Amino acid sequence: MAIPVAVLGAGNFGTCLATLCAAENEVRLWARDPKLVEGILRTRKNPRYLTDAPIPEAVHPTSDLAAALRGAELVILAVPSQSLRGVAEAAAPHLAPGSIVVSAVKGIEVETGRTMSAVLREVLPSEWADRIVCLSGPSFASEIAARKPTVVTLACAEETYAISVQATLSCPWFRCYSQTDVLGVELGGALKNVIAIAVGIGDGQLQGHNSRAALMTRGLAEITRLGLKLGAEAQTFQGLSGMGDLVLTCTGDRSRNRQVGLALGRGQSLAAILDEMGEVAEGVETTRAVCRLAERIGVEMPIAEGVREVLDGRCTPAEAGQRLMQRQLRSESEDDGAA
């Protein structure tokens, strides 16, 4: 049954999700910039993101947030992680009663160390606390837009709501699984970006496939260790939002976080990389946020800390790699934070 859908954020992922939902629903796509909206209306393509993907007539772009949300039964947030709080605060008064809110945002809030669902629970009225669903998994927007097979996870503490979203989003090329470990799904989706930067740094230095495999494996161990400390479930990190997203983001050259790492490994400065990229690489701020969080709760994350030191210019990529290789030797089965 068709429902009114609002997608907040007209970047790559927001644009692709709006197009996906428009197959059977009326969709309002909100963009902050009126010029972007005008471009979509004029050409039925996004002039900045997924520029080759046609946008169906069932997608109605607007820069009016209240109009985008009016009567929407499903609200999908697809904005940068550090912008989520502000957008959610502005959206809260306009949410339709009974609507379901989906976070498609992968990151950790820098100032607070909170996950995206925690930010939403803090900002939105209390009646939405159980209706926040988190979407994560290996999903390049360009491949979804090209109708290439993609499989993701939808997590909600009240799984009924995840199942409802599952029925709306799933189609022959986009398959959704549901589950209840919201924290694990969010941490996997956010922290894999940090490890992707690390892998990119190694690949940029031509360190080889052995190094890549080691960073991915020990990176997953770091992610899992932090997750368990915070109360997530171990098996979640073996699934789509854990290992699945990690593999894609670390090895797929469409990954912005991998590209940041590659450029750092080749000697470029972070400022120059981000200026040239012109898009948000979530892993940069997530690295800083997760390192602060890990320090606060006493979890050792040497790969993430090495990435932070490189990002902050406190050591070179080569020095960061040497420090990891020269750490105290120990058993792989130890659960004390070793890399």
Note the pTM of the prediction, 2 decimals: 0.94
Question: For residues 34 and 61, what is the distance between their CA atoms, to the nearest angstrom?
Answer: 9
Tokens matching residue 214: 């080691």
User: What mean pLDDT comes out for the span 260-270?
Assistant: 97
- Residues 305, 254, 244, CA angle at the centre, nearest 5°? 65
The predicted pLDDT at position 339 comes to 46
- The per-residue pLDDT for range 161-185, each reduced to its tens digit, is 999 999 999 999 999 999 999 999 9
- The per-residue pLDDT for range 183-239, each reduced to its tens digit, is 999 999 999 999 999 999 999 999 999 999 999 999 999 999 999 999 999 999 999
Q: Is 148 a catalytic residue?
A: no
Arithmetic mean of pLDDT over the chain: 96
The predicted pLDDT at position 335 comes to 60
- Of 158, 156, 139, which is closest to residue 148 (Cα–Cα)? 139
Task: Give the SS3 label for residue 93.
Answer: helix
- C-alpha Rg value of the chain to the nearest Å: 20
- The per-residue pLDDT for range 326-339, each reduced to its tens digit, is 999 989 887 644 44
The predicted pLDDT at position 338 comes to 43
Question: For residues 179 and 20, what is the distance between their CA atoms, to the nearest angstrom?
Answer: 21
Tokens matching residue 122: 């803090």
- The per-residue pLDDT for range 86-118, each reduced to its tens digit, is 999 999 999 999 999 999 999 999 999 999 999
Strands 150-155 and 100-103: unpaired
Q: In angstroms, how far apart are the furthest CA atoms of the chain? A: 61
User: What mean pLDDT comes out for the span 276-300?
Assistant: 93
**N-term to C-term CA, the chain:** 49
What stretches of the chain show up as alpha helix (H) in DSSP? Answer: 12-21, 34-43, 65-69, 84-91, 116-123, 141-145, 159-169, 182-204, 209-230, 245-251, 256-265, 270-277, 282-297, 302-311, 317-325
Catalytic residue among 35, 106, 148, 192: 192
- The per-residue pLDDT for range 307-321, each reduced to its tens digit, is 999 999 999 999 999
Domains of the chain: 4-180 (3.40.50.720), 191-325 (1.10.1040.10)
